[in-house]
Amino acid sequence: MTKKVLLAGESWITSEAHFKGFDHFSSAHYHTGADAFLNAMKESEFEVTFMPSHEAVRDLPYDREGLAKWDIIMISDIGSNSLLLPPEVFIKSERRPNRLKLLRDWTHDGGGLMMVGGYLTFQGINGSGRWHRTPVEEALPVTCLPYDDRLEVPDGFKAKILAAHDHPILKGVPPDWPYIIGANEIVARENAEVLVRLPDDEGGHPLLVTGEYGKGRSIAWASDMAPHWLPPEFLAWEGYRTLWLNMLRWLSPA
């Protein structure tokens, strides 16, 4: 049976200024960090809808009926402001439903919610993600710190596996993971299960955490789904596809 997944976020635009002697010009580039994940989901039981950050501001539904079309919703590298401040609210001061509350309630009633780490998820760079103390945080198996939570590890770290290798999320995933060079610092809730964490010399912080919220399930993956925190070696790793498929399957039990 095909399961429907929404991936919201994972896009950005860069603006550059070029100076060449007396003259200068500017350029802009559009980027996505979802390609490796989307390629890994091909020919699987999951049908993924990719909603880039700028589209999610406008297109993420404002009602439960709209959210009900998806079995799983993934929030990846997009700040809470993008969902709280659509143009109608920010520019026109018009009232709109709070989509963070809708996501929380959708999870409570049986949805599968996943937050993927990045510079604008959990709390993010300079605290700009602002997921701390939001309704969405209530549905996650972790709490966010109230400040910049990045763990930049340029020399790389090897994930420490805590759960048994026959755990549904780790089954078939090779135990020797490639190096990871960053993550968000998160705090597991008391009733959550920490499957993977950072090594002791990097603080031992949770890396992969699962939990239940009402009738639903949620996962916190504290690192990225692509560079820069996941190097090319991780994307090419035979366990990359298996890990993501296992997480989605756990979020959407038959």
- Residue by residue, pLDDT tens for the chain (254 residues) are 899 999 999 999 999 999 999 999 999 999 999 999 999 999 999 999 999 999 999 999 999 999 999 999 999 999 999 999 999 999 999 999 999 999 999 999 999 999 999 999 999 999 999 999 999 999 999 999 999 999 999 999 999 999 998 999 999 999 999 999 999 999 999 999 999 999 999 999 999 999 999 999 999 999 999 999 999 999 999 999 999 999 999 999 75
b vs e for 214-249, b when ≥16 Cβ sit within 10 Å of the residue's Cβ?
Answer: eebbbbbbbbbbbeebbbeebbebebbbbbbbbbbb
How is domain 3-9+30-251 classified at the architecture level of CATH? 3-Layer(aba) Sandwich (3.40)
- CA-nearest of 188, 194, 192 to 162 is 194
